[in-house]
A and B are shown apart, each in its own frame.
Chain A
Amino acid sequence: MSKIIASAAIRGAHKIFDKVDAKYKEVLEKYGPDQEVGFPNTAYYLPIIYAMTGIGVSKLQDFDQILNLCRRLIPPPVREKTHLPYLAPTLDAGMATFFVEELYEAMRYLENPDCYATGEDQTDKTIWLGAASDLIFRKRGVEFVDGTAPGFAAIVGAAPDAQTAAKIALELQEKNLYVFMCGENGGKRFSEQLAEAGVQVGWPTRLVSFGPDIYQAVFAIGFACRVAMAFGGVKPGDFRRNLIYNKDRTYAFVMALGEVTDEWYANAAGCINWGFPTIADTPIPEVLPTGICTYEHVVSNIPHDHIVQKAVEVRGLKVQVAKVPVPVSYGPAFEGERVRGEDIYLEMGGGKTVAVEWTTTKRMEEVEDGKVEVVGPDVGDVKAGTRLHFAMLAEVAGRNFQEDFEPILERQNHHLINQAQGIMHIGQRDIAWIRVSKQAVEKGFKLEHIGKIIHAKYHQDFGAIFDKVQVKIYTEEAKVREVLEQARASYNHRDARVENMTDETVDTFYSCTLCQSFAPSHVCVVAPERTGLCGAYNWLDCRAAFEINPEGPNQPIQKGEMLDERYGQFKGCNDFVIKASRQKVTNVSLYSLMVDPMTTCGCCECIAAVLPMANGLMTVDRDYTGMTPCGMKFTTLAGSVGGGAQSPGFLGHSKYNITQRKFVKGDGGLARMVWMPKRLKEELHDRLVKRGEELGIPGLIDMIADETVATTEDEVIAYITEKGHPALTMESIL
């Protein structure tokens, strides 16, 4: 701190406290102490207070305890002469500021439930998004964990003008950072400036307009607190671990644009507890000595064209920026951007025309690396609003290349193409769907650039497994259909191969410790019949990843002696897991949720849980926000099993895994499944039907209850009894 900052922050904390305290009296008068309060759709109550104190604020009367705590935390003003040490009291005051601001926001939700949008995007009514629901939090949190998003910039205030705001935002997006925005400077707000400059604001573009005031800084910090609890296994109330976890792993910082008020100082002081420094564009005092943050605490007077670079450096973040030779910006932050309506220049696929992508192997001499051929009409040849057929053939060659790697590369196409600003990509294989925006065309984007993206990114991300790649893009219908036929034959061949691959046919499984950056004791063991719990990595992916980066998070595991056939325990797996989990986990079953189940990082697509009375299992995917028969919503389940701990009776898994043959085989397999969300059942419909038949239980899918017939265990029992579900007659699951 500096004396000026400390004095201002403590003043600010007092001001905010007084305001919230007064507001509380008014709200209490109006609603009474038993009134329920909270942020929408979350199991983490008011997340900062919950993370720091372990207190789950759910009623107005709970505020008293928090306000009393804050009274003790906020120190008297800093004396002018011979003052007492102020760093610690200022940090405490900053913490108290967050606590009371969360209370304030909870009251705002109570008084005006529509004050914020509820989804990922702004609505016609409001640009402000408010607290992230657990659904948004989990989806986005995964990106923090897998490294797609290294952190976030909490922007407070506004740039001098909309263009500068857009430029700063773009630069942050290019560094893959999330941008969390709140606060106002001279009547202007960064979010509104972006909207004014025509930038798409919302979670999908990582430009998150939390709210109009400084108070909404708590939504950014609350997000960080939840990351530690959900993925880091940090218990609520374990404030120290939560703060240090964020300091070490969440690369966030505050960017203060405009006049720094006492209230801003109070919030900035609070952020320092998490190791999040402040970078300001105004000449406020600096705090350069290190210790609470990794490097400097407050750096000031940075010009706007340097501020992003400076912020990243002060936070100690290394960002790998993809260099792709396209005339638009490129990076994960642009994945979520939509192209629609008037903005569409060119559309391919999506049901109206054919669009197919196929990556295949060629001999070395057949491939000229980097060659991109476009056959047929290109952007320049058609008018805005045109639809074209599309086929992209990526021909790969190399000494280390294997046929098994083809689908791995091909599957990357979606997000590789989607990461280009102004290009929207959906689907894969023969259901691809591409839109090119007018803005991208204006910047000079042509179809050949899709090929250039593929060439550049294949090399950057997978360079170790191939040597050369050339891309052929066709937009003439006849040629497109020709490629389509060849591609479909290839898809069928691949599917059959994957389908026939079993755990018994290989000696080597693969680990995935990608998530250890956030869940240090979690280890995934990926086998042919057990894809990773996030749904993103199957055995072939892991094998390729190991080829690409032999030192990376996917390591081969010699499965070794089989110790337990029923539950799928292997000596090699256990040995590996002990070491890789830093001695936290000693035994792991690949085929059970009852006995030594695999840990989860929190990124799992689904969580299965025992329903003891029903003698079966249920599973719920993270898109389902309703109550489940085990008495917990997905987010509560994830909160209790995530973070790398073994929790018998619960198992994180991927959607695909449900229909794999080894799925909880030791506990009775899919025949134990008594409840699933309806949408998940529909999504897996064909595979569920097929697997049911394979198990000799035709019609199993219809015996599995869903939320339309049961949301409690009793209702599940009634339903499955009526349907004669096999679980009822199996041996006791306990």
Chain B
Amino acid sequence: MADEKGKEKIRSIDNAAITLIEKAQKENVSTVFFRADELKPCPIGVEESCCKICGMGPCRLPRPKKAGEEKDRAGVCGATIETIVARNFARKIAAGTASHSDHAREVAETFLKTAQDEAQGFAIKDEVKLLEVALDYGIETEGRESREIAIDVGKKALEQFGKQDGELVYIKKAPLKRQEIWRKLGVVPRGIDREVVEMMHRTHMGVDQDYKHLMLQATRTALADGWGGSMISTDLQDIMFGTPVPILGTFNTGVFKEDQVNIVVHGHEPFLPELLVTATHDPEMKALAEKVGAKGINLTGMCCSANEVLMRHGIPCAGNFLQQELALVTGAVELMTVDVQCQMQGLQDVSECYHTKLVTTSDRAKIEGAIHIEFHPENGLDTAKKILRMAIENYPNRRHAVYIPAETQDAVVGFSHETINYLLGGLFRASYKPLNDNIINGRIRGVAGVVGCNNVRTVHDSAHIAMVKELIKNDVIVLTTGCAAMACGKAGLLTPEAARLYAGSGLAEVCEAVGIPPVLHMGACVDNSRILIAATALVKEGGLGDDISDLPAAGAAPEWMSEKALAIGQYFVASGVYTVFGTTWPTLGSEKVTKHLFEEHEELYKGMWAYEPDPIKAAGMMIAHIDKKRKALGLDKARERVLYDMAMRRALD
């Protein structure tokens, strides 16, 4: 948002972030906020009207500035602007899918090692889920030990990546009607890696040069993320670390403790964070902390690593994507670990301004200047302790006055699909029925997934919060993951009390009945697969049509920035969900491609993209879509109460 002359630029709606931005400014520490002031987005890149996939370019083909100056735009090879924009878009989806899936591969490998007793400190925690997943994979469970079953699950999961033909196993978890649509269009993924590789091939110079055809493969690639890599990751992580259940958590930078050793786990993988949780309980570590004069060890998280340990252990979350550097600006952080995805290189410079040690832990990601301690499951607990020791020993090295903002916010987090099923009926009557019932009777108008990142080009957290508040005010229950979930957490929307404060009367009534917040934290960004499964459960429960696209539901990522977000968006659209993105949109260079995504996709997938930077307007578009679906289901009219006589009871199945 543009700043008005003479006024301080509004950078965040989060007071903790604002005070730390001010502190950084005072201390002349460079952060993403100041770099963004210096570096405006490339005006041609922002609409993706630039092709640089071969050495004959780059070909810059901006849209004409004035109306009436339109002409056919093409690169030197003749690639049309449609091909160029679609290729760029498809490549981002490939990158997003690759990221989630490579994360998932790591999960599957670690899972297999865990099953084979080769992973130090890990175990099969959720045996019920193991059996369910084994069933999905068609693995025999009768009379077998869970270890044997787990080994087969691990192997079968790994196979999903390198498969060359057939279908990914999780495709069968989708509603039947959805599977038919995919098969008809030929977009059922064969193997996760294969789809990414083929996408990269088809977007190479001089290969697939029909934007609609390119988008079919982009869809197949995205589905390999949502109904492939991401889902594998969620399932196997649940089995290893426990399926999340509602738990009390705390959000924002105020979670740091001045007199304790503060460690931040940042990134996306849950492995090291899980073992750090174990290690912090080690008496040896506690004694060491005492020895250096700290009152304890305070493990905290950022980004999706935080989400993982938050919803499984209640480990506090110090903030979302745009707060990663600000966390270090407190001067209170002894050590930050990073693994993969969304960790800014700027962290290294910031850490150098304080005493903070930045540790890279993945064999796939180093940061120049940072300490590199590779995490491998074989000696994971030893590594965790080594890192923890390093953090503790760094406590006496604090050299600046520590400033920790006061802001913290309690929240209820950890709504997996399984737990929602339980929460709506208890152990004996678990089902989605009450949710379906209250959608049908209109207390809940619909369901929205609000997910995604932060983006420094829009006021930090503002779009998330404005959109979510608008939705719940209109009785739309919100499911959230990733950095969006953290924004909601910080703003107090993940509390049951928020229902009374912000939700419409119908939604508030349901929240009061179940005792839930109006916004449900479902996990990390890789856990968007949980939303797909929840949507499928809604369909299967009955009364709301026979496909995800029939549901009164919509999705949004109002502050997206990463390629993963585009992969997520595409798999939601291809799963039948109307999906609105904010901040910026990467196909505006081509009207035809944009029209294909925004309109023609509805004919193909019964779900489509939309772009609207104003979060309130975007929420309005989502609500209008929800109302459209309600009308199609005949839910727009009040229903008469049915009273049952014996003949009607006899007719029951």
Contact = CB atoms under 8 A, between A and B. Distances in A.
B515 A86 contact: yes
Contacts of A88: 422-427, 430, 514
Interface in A231-264: 239-240, 243-244, 248-249, 251
A318 B645 contact: yes
A84 B314 CA distance: 13
B437 interface: yes
Contacts of B437: 289-291
A289 B509 contact: yes
A461 to B, nearest CB: 14
Interface string A85-104: 11111111001000000000
A316 B645 CA distance: 9
Contact of A87 (B433, B443, B513, B644): B513
A493 interface: no
A290 B510 CA distance: 9
A89 B424 CA distance: 10
A91 B429 contact: yes
Contact of A292 (B427, B434, B648): B434
A249 B510 contact: no
Contacts of B474: none
B40 to A, nearest CB: 42
A85 B515 contact: yes
Nearest to A553: B650
B410 A243 contact: no
A318 B427 contact: no
B506 to A, nearest CB: 8
Nearest to A582: B653
B649 A249 contact: yes
A36 interface: no
B600 to A, nearest CB: 38
Interface string B451-483: 000000000000000000000000000000000
B644 A317 contact: yes
A442 interface: no
Nearest to A275: B429
Interface in A299-339: 312-313, 316-320
A295 interface: yes
Contact of A85 (B423, B436, B652): B423
B427 A82 contact: no
B513 A517 contact: no
A87 B516 CA distance: 9
B426 A87 contact: yes
B574 interface: no
B652 A87 contact: no
B497 interface: yes
Given A288-B509, A291-B435, A318-B645, A82 B497 contact: yes
Given A82-B495, A85-B514, A291-B425, A150 B246 contact: no
A433 B434 CA distance: 53
A717 to B, nearest CB: 43
A520 B652 contact: yes
A287 B412 CA distance: 22
Interface in B227-250: 246-248
B411 interface: yes
A73 B427 contact: yes
A251 B645 CA distance: 10
A147 interface: yes
Nearest to B250: A82
B423 A87 contact: yes
A273 B428 contact: yes
Given A251-B644, A290-B434, A316-B644, A517 B650 contact: yes
Contact of B424 (A86, A87, A287): A87
Nearest to A150: B646
B508 to A, nearest CB: 10
A316 B641 contact: yes
B642 A316 contact: yes
Contact of B433 (A287, A291, A520): A291
A205 B441 CA distance: 39
Interface in A351-389: none
A171 B648 CA distance: 24
B486 to A, nearest CB: 16
B159 interface: no
Contacts of B435: 291
Contacts of B120: none
A289 B510 contact: yes
A287 B436 CA distance: 17
Contacts of A30: none
A89 B426 contact: yes
Contacts of A243: 428-429
Where chain A touches its partner, the secondary structure class is loop
Question: Chain B CB within 10 Å — which of A73, A84, A273, A320 has the most?
Answer: A84
A81 B496 CA distance: 8
Interface stretch (A1-9, A643-651, A679-687): A1-9
Interface string B481-518: 00000000000000111000000000001101111100
A87 B514 contact: yes
Interface in A378-423: none
A513 interface: yes
B551 to A, nearest CB: 17
Interface string B402-438: 0000000011100000000011111111100111111
Interface string A482-513: 00000000000000000000000000000001
Contacts of A517: 646, 649-650, 652
Contacts of B647: 552
Interface in B250-282: none
Residue among B427, B516, B642 with most chain A CB within 10 A: B427
Contacts of A520: 652-653
B441 A2 contact: no
A92 B427 contact: yes
B207 interface: no
Contacts of B401: none
B643 interface: yes
Contact of A2 (B426, B434, B512, B646): B512
Contact of B513 (A1, A239, A514, A582): A1
Interface string A35-61: 000000000000000001000000000
Given A85-B516, A290-B438, A291-B438, A91 B496 contact: no
Interface in B60-118: none
B247 A84 contact: yes
Interface in A117-152: 147, 150
A620 to B, nearest CB: 29
Contacts of A292: 425, 429, 433-434
Contacts of A320: 645
Most interface-central of A239, A288, A316 (chain B CB within 10 A): A288
Contact of B514 (A1, A295, A316, A516): A1
Q: Name, among B247, B422, B434, B649, the residue most crowded by chain A CB atoms within 10 Å (CB to CB).
A: B649
B649 A52 contact: no
A287 B246 contact: no
Contacts of B653: 520, 582
B644 A83 contact: no
Contacts of A85: 246, 412, 423, 496, 514-516
B440 to A, nearest CB: 9
Contact of A81 (B434, B497, B515): B497
Contacts of B513: 1-2, 87, 287-289, 297
Q: 6 nearest interchain CB pairs? A: A291-B434, A91-B426, A86-B515, A147-B646, A318-B643, A517-B649
Given A150-B646, A291-B436, A518-B649, 16 more contacts: A73-B427, A88-B425, A88-B427, A90-B426, A92-B427, A249-B649, A273-B428, A288-B509, A289-B438, A291-B425, A291-B433, A292-B434, A312-B643, A316-B641, A319-B645, A517-B649
23 contacts: A1-B513, A1-B514, A82-B497, A84-B412, A85-B412, A85-B515, A87-B513, A87-B515, A88-B430, A91-B425, A92-B426, A95-B426, A147-B646, A244-B429, A248-B649, A273-B426, A288-B509, A288-B513, A289-B437, A292-B429, A295-B641, A316-B642, A514-B650
